[in-house]
Amino acid sequence: MSLTEEIKKRRTFAIIAHPDAGKTTLTEKLLLFGGAIQTAGAVKSNKIDTATKSDWMEIEKQRGISVATSVMGFEYKDIKINLLDTPGHQDFAEDTYRTLTAVDSVIMVIDCVKGVEIQTEKLMEVCRMRNTPVICFINKLDREGRDPYDLLDEVEEKLNIKVRPLSWPIGMGKGFKGVYNLYEKKLNLFTPSQRKLSDDRQVFENLDDPELDSLIGPNNANQLREDVDLIEGVYPEFDVNDYLEGKIAPVFFGSAVNNFGVNEMLDTFIKIAPGPKSRETDLREVKPEEKKFSGFVFKIHANMDPNHRNRIAFLRICSGTFERNKPYNHVRGPKPLRFSNVTQFMAQDKEIIDEAFPGDIVGLYDTGNLKIGDTLTEGENMVFTGIPSFSPEIFREVINKDAMKTKQLEKGLKQLMEEGVAQLFTFEMGQRKVVGTVGQLQFEVIQFRLKNEYNATVEFHPMNLYKACWISSADKKQLDEFVRSKNRYIARDKDDKLVFMAESKSWLQMVQDNYPEIEFHFTSEF
């Protein structure tokens, strides 16, 4: 197969959702359709049970599960689908943000009872930064949920994206009868079943057909006719280009656990979802069809066993053909790297492969050369952009409890930060080290891993910080002056970039007002 054909065949995406909306269940059904698994229950949730969430054994288990399901590849109707898993626990949100840089589109699951939840809003913001196309799946229609019109309004309002229903529910909860596919004008009747794989669908070009009344009852039939009239009147015709530009989200209704509405969404997904897209580097845009290979590392998974400090780096291939054992330019590093152990993930199996194509994700065994955001190329010294760090939400000062192990601590911190476990900021004054995370859990992970893998003992002391803002200015003198006058609050990030550590929202606002020439950024890339 030619490179162009390989590219055309691929769809790389992630499912995002607030915990409990049904991401794991939907993932499993998609894998069933793809023939990648045979039985329901084969996909383990990557959630950490809240009751045991401060137990590091649980964290380790979670890490074990998440590597197995990090990428799930399967074929469906001749399309090679790469589904990237995102951590279910919100403390690992930063991991999810980075995973979203490696996909070309997302499916967003929303619980019809709870509507749009907070984690969904945050994830949508990240999608918007890159105009990632979004398909919405409104789940759990077998339960008494909210009114579908209200749900659509809420999605538009809270997620700040226009919607276009492509299917419409008939009843809900106990009275749930099925969905009408507005795109294909087909009726799909609901029978609760966790096993059923294909849906029998009835085509209704004309909803006035009296057959509809006998199938779903005259009340439901009339309601559906009214709804469809209204929707077709209110919402403009679905334009796939608007979806591809991230301007409009097509919406499907269904019930993942009953495998209802999933097949329809998947069929539409493979028709409309984008294949591997061009990507920006600091020098130029890279097209997937380019002959020469390029890619970037978006995730690193370390081995918890201190005797085997190897790790798996997840590489997204952006252009050309990636080949095993071929030396590639490690743009940030001192020497070319070659990989003999290249893994691809087909559902639950890992297999060693010889080549991979744009859109694919491969796992590279690494002994500590790679870090998150690294670019590999077949020569050119360019770096993929758009893999920013986000300002953390919780800050703690690192206190070394064993002065004899300072070197181990430094090394451990550096490596954990390279894996993206958390972010390290070093204050200019006094060189105090501050770890920033998006969740409590990471501090426990870091503390445990520093002890277990590096034999370093730390404590974390709370710090009264609101945000870390990367600062810049067109006027270098002003920036120098700012850094001088605010030196108690100035730190450096892992790349030595200047960061302003703001103590509170109101104070940050005041400083911003007082220094209009200084730009404050909440992500490391601007």
**Footprint on this chain of ligand GDP (rule: CB under 6 A):** 17, 19-25, 45, 47, 88, 139-140, 142-143, 255-258
Taking alpha carbons only, the member of 389, 365, 391, 361 closest to residue 296 is 361
Question: Does 142 carry a binding-site annotation?
Answer: yes
How far is it, in rounded angstroms, from Cα 432 to Cα 426?
A: 6
How far is it, in rounded angstroms, from Cα 488 to Cα 186?
A: 65
Q: What is the DSSP string of 439-479?
A: STHHHHHHHHHHHHHH---EEEEE----EEEEEE-S-HHHH
Name which of 114 and 130 has its Cβ closer to ligand GDP.
114
Burial code of 96-113, b = ≥16 C-beta within 10 A, e = fewer? bbbbbbbbbbbbbbbbbb
Closest distance to ligand GDP from the beta carbon of 107 (Å): 12
Taking alpha carbons only, the member of 118, 123, 74 closest to residue 94 is 123
Question: Does 379 carry a binding-site annotation?
Answer: no
Burial label for 495, CB within 10 Å (0-12, 13-18, 19+), is exposed
For residue 386, give every residue at least 6 positions away whose Cβ sits within 8 Å of its Cβ, in sequence order, or none: 101, 130, 279, 280, 525
Question: Does 477 carry a binding-site annotation?
Answer: no
Element (H, E) at 398: strand 394-400
Name which of 99 and 255 has its Cβ closer to ligand GDP.
255
Question: Does 85 carry a binding-site annotation?
Answer: yes
Closest distance to ligand GDP from the beta carbon of 65 (Å): 12
Question: Does 162 carry a binding-site annotation?
Answer: no
Adjacent-strand bridge partners of 260 = 255
Name which of 27 and 343 has its Cβ closer to ligand GDP.
27
Question: Does 87 carry a binding-site annotation?
Answer: yes
Name which of 79 and 256 has its Cβ closer to ligand GDP.
256
- Whole-angstrom CA distances from 435 to 250, 331, 447 are 40, 27, 11
Closest distance to ligand GDP from the beta carbon of 169 (Å): 12
Paired tokens of 180? 């009408």
Closest distance to ligand GDP from the beta carbon of 154 (Å): 18
Contact in structure between 105 and 273 (CB atoms under 8 Å): yes
Question: Does 141 carry a binding-site annotation?
Answer: yes
Question: Does 139 carry a binding-site annotation?
Answer: yes
Taking alpha carbons only, the member of 169, 182, 177, 167 closest to residue 213 is 177
Name which of 142 and 493 has its Cβ closer to ligand GDP.
142
Closest distance to ligand GDP from the beta carbon of 14 (Å): 12
Closest distance to ligand GDP from the beta carbon of 260 (Å): 7
How far is it, in rounded angstroms, from Cα 511 to Cα 300?
A: 37
Question: Does 457 carry a binding-site annotation?
Answer: no
Name which of 31 and 257 has its Cβ closer to ligand GDP.
257
Which bin fits 49, alpha (ψ -120 to 50), beta or left (φ > 0)?
Answer: beta
Name which of 194 and 512 has its Cβ closer to ligand GDP.
194
Rg for the chain (alpha carbons), in Å? Answer: 25
Q: Tell me how many degrees the CA angle 129-109-65 measures, rounded to the nearest 5.
A: 90
Closest distance to ligand GDP from the beta carbon of 50 (Å): 12
Name which of 45 and 220 has its Cβ closer to ligand GDP.
45
Q: Are strands 134-139 and 248-253 parallel, antiparallel or unpaired?
A: parallel
Closest distance to ligand GDP from the beta carbon of 32 (Å): 14
Name which of 74 and 293 has its Cβ closer to ligand GDP.
74
For residue 456, give every residue at least 6 positions away whose Cβ sits within 8 Å of its Cβ, in sequence order, or none: 400, 402, 405, 408, 409, 412, 450
Closest distance to ligand GDP from the beta carbon of 194 (Å): 9
Residues in binding site for GTP: 85-89, 139-142
Residues in binding site: 85-89, 139-142
